Amino acid sequence: MAYNYLDFEKPIAEIESRIEDLRMAAGGTVDVHEEIRRLEKKADDIKERIYGGLTPWQKTQVARHQDRPTTEDYISYFLRDFVEVHGDRSYADDPAVIGGMAWLDGDPVMVIGHNKGRTTKEKISRNFGWPHPEGYRKALRLMKLAEKFGRPVITLIDTAGAYPGIGAEERGQSEAIARNLFEMSALRVPIIAVVLGEGGSGGALALGVGNRVLMMEHAIYSVISPEGCAVILWKDGSKAPDAAEILKLTAQDLKKLGVIEEIVKEPTGGAQRDKALAAKNLEKAVKKHLKELSEMSPDELVADRYNKFRAIGQFIEQK
């Protein structure tokens, strides 16, 4: 399958195109293997340089990359025997949110995440990862089930935001999000939230009240999209790159601000370049934090979560 290059990846695209041409020519009278190795090294160097200095807007593009691994991908890579649970037992099932029971290295967990889909048909069926209220109520149903059986909760965040349609508002979109925030804050089992790609507004935060919040290296997490911010501030959506700079939405910015606990390393060129390696890195991080949290009592877990979010945004008054 052909790789979908972003605009700033054109230098990489040119070299990798030459490599592909040489591979097709391999086997002829001229030995091209040495030239292929040289170009591969050059491509790796360029990827290191480009991805080592991405701007917030470029990171936004990477976070939204159509080949980026989805929640389903990560579940298939490092969780076993996943059994999906459907429906909120009130209105309907929401395909934009998936969740169910699974095993992580022999330990039972509950995993819940947004799912955008990849093909056009999948994206439409999953509403492009924009959850309805029933999606958040399904997530809450699963979290309460996890609490009942003492299973840690892992949430995988990847959404531009909650669906803003009339039907969603009529069915209580804001209440569903607020209820999740309230209930997650007091859940008596460990919660690890991971921002995989795009973490947008309350639609992301409704799955984000964790004891530990992790972000993939090139993910973003913000109260609003850069485009939406640009329209509000400057009445001009084309200023989205400027908005991305001031929103402090990158994993690196949020780690400095104390919003997240860990940045999970991605393969050079982004998680979409090597999904298995990205999943392996995430699995290692999740296991580490779960081990730490497993030593806490239910009361300590609730207090830990409360103190984490109370500490965000602290400041010192200058006299």
Regarding whether 223 and 262 lie in a shared domain, the answer is yes
pLDDT score, position 1: 54
* Mean pLDDT confidence for 255-281: 95
* Residue 318 confidence class, pLDDT cut points 50, 70, 90: confident
- Going by C-beta distance under 8 Å and a sequence separation of 6 or more, which residues neighbour residue 63? 197, 198, 218, 219, 220
Regarding whether 140 and 125 lie in a shared domain, the answer is yes
Tens-digit pLDDT profile for residues 77-118: 999 999 999 999 999 999 999 999 999 999 999 999 999 988
- The answer to whether residues 63 and 278 touch, using CB atoms and an 8 Å cutoff, is no
Q: DSSP assignment, residue 94?
A: -
**Which residues is 80 bridged to in the sheet?**
103
Regarding whether 223 and 180 lie in a shared domain, the answer is yes
Regarding whether 144 and 46 lie in a shared domain, the answer is no
DSSP string, 229-284: HHHHHHS-GGGHHHHHHHHT-BHHHHHHTTS-SEEEP--TT-GGG-HHHHHHHHHH
pLDDT at residue 31 is higher than 80: no
* Residue 28 confidence class, pLDDT cut points 50, 70, 90: low
Report pTM.
Answer: 0.92
H or E element, residue 213 = strand 212-216
pLDDT at residue 29 is higher than 60: no
pLDDT score, position 20: 87
Regarding whether 78 and 19 lie in a shared domain, the answer is no
- The answer to whether residues 57 and 245 touch, using CB atoms and an 8 Å cutoff, is yes
Tens-digit pLDDT profile for residues 38-52: 998 999 999 999 999
* Mean pLDDT confidence for 112-141: 94
Q: What is the mean pLDDT of the chain?
A: 93
Regarding whether 110 and 211 lie in a shared domain, the answer is yes
pLDDT score, position 30: 57
Regarding whether 292 and 249 lie in a shared domain, the answer is yes
Residue with tokens 């069915």: 171
Residue 275 placed within a domain: yes
* Residue 2 confidence class, pLDDT cut points 50, 70, 90: confident
pLDDT score, position 27: 60
Regarding whether 245 and 117 lie in a shared domain, the answer is yes
Domain that holds residue 256: 60-311
Bridge pairing between strands 107-114 and 97-104: antiparallel
Question: Per the structure, how many domains does the chain have?
Answer: 2
- The answer to whether residues 77 and 234 touch, using CB atoms and an 8 Å cutoff, is no
> What CATH number is attached to the domain comprising 98?
3.90.226.10
* Mean pLDDT confidence for 275-285: 97
Could you give the CA distance from residue 30 to residue 33 in angstroms, rounded to a whole number?
9
* Mean pLDDT confidence for 142-164: 96
Could you give the CA distance from residue 99 to residue 137 in angstroms, rounded to a whole number?
12
Regarding whether 150 and 123 lie in a shared domain, the answer is yes
Regarding whether 91 and 17 lie in a shared domain, the answer is no
Regarding whether 90 and 39 lie in a shared domain, the answer is no
pLDDT score, position 272: 94
pLDDT score, position 188: 98
* Mean pLDDT confidence for 142-155: 97
pLDDT at residue 278 is higher than 90: yes
User: Taking Cα atoms as reference points, which of 229, 299, 288, 301 lies closest to residue 105?
Assistant: 288
Could you give the CA distance from residue 115 to residue 71 in angstroms, rounded to a whole number?
6
Tens-digit pLDDT profile for residues 188-201: 999 999 999 999 99
Question: Judging by beta carbons within 10 Å of its beta carbon (0-12, 13-18, 19+), is residue 138 exposed, middle or buried?
Answer: buried
pLDDT score, position 26: 67
Could you give the CA distance from residue 95 to residue 208 in angstroms, rounded to a whole number?
19
Regarding whether 28 and 171 lie in a shared domain, the answer is no
